[in-house]
């Protein structure tokens, strides 16, 4: 799930590029572990900074137009370039495994149930 340019520009400018972990919620759904990439994606030679969320969950349907809420709880590694697509995929898999382990720690786990993830009563989400 990629955030729009407008959302990316609203992120704190002093937030280091790299790979983070945390929690994500689509609409009023369940809260899942996630890995977040913030940066320029050098392998793809992006000219604009991007924020890409990989929710560690398999959804039945796509969720375009839904509200995506995230809480960043930890830093995994800095952004880097890769010599091949295979190396990039391998690093992503390692990032996911590190995130899963890190998010099981009590200091990360307690944020999963934060009220932040519950949309206010009457707030509608596109379906």
**Mind listing the pLDDT tens digit for each residue in 64-96?**
888 899 999 999 999 999 999 999 999 999 999
Q: Check: CATH 1.10.10.60 for 5-117? A: no
Reading the block at residue 49, the tokens are 């900074």
| Structural domain boundaries in the chain | 5-117
What are the φ and ψ backbone dihedral angles of 48, each rounded to 5 degrees? -120, 145
Q: Which residues are catalytic?
A: 52
Query: Which one, of 54, 56, 67, 53, lies nearest residue 127 by Cα?
Result: 67
What are the φ and ψ backbone dihedral angles of 42, each rounded to 5 degrees? -55, -30
Cα dist. 25→48, 67, 85, 117 in Å? 25, 8, 29, 6
- What angle is formed at CA 2 by the lines to CA 46 and CA 63, rounded to 5 degrees? 150
Residues 6+ apart with CB under 8 A from 39: 17, 18, 49, 50, 79
Query: Which pTM does this prediction carry?
Result: 0.86
**Mind listing the pLDDT tens digit for each residue in 7-60?**
988 988 888 999 999 999 998 889 999 999 999 887 777 788 889 999 999 998
């Amino acid at each position: 799930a990629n955030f729009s340019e407008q959302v990316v520009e609203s992120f704190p400018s002093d937030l280091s590029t790299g790979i983070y972990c945390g929690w994500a919620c689509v609409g009023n759904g369940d809260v899942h572990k996630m890995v977040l990439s913030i940066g320029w994606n050098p392998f793809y030679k992006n000219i604009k900074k991007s924020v890409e969320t990989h929710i560690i969950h398999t959804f039945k349907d796509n969720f375009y137009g839904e509200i995506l809420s995230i809480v960043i709880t930890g830093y995994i590694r800095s952004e880097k370039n890769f010599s091949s697509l295979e190396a990039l995929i391998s690093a992503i898999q390692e990032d996911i495994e590190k995130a899963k382990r890190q998010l099981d720690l009590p200091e990360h786990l307690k944020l999963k149930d934060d009220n932040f993830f519950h949309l206010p009563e009457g707030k509608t989400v596109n379906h």
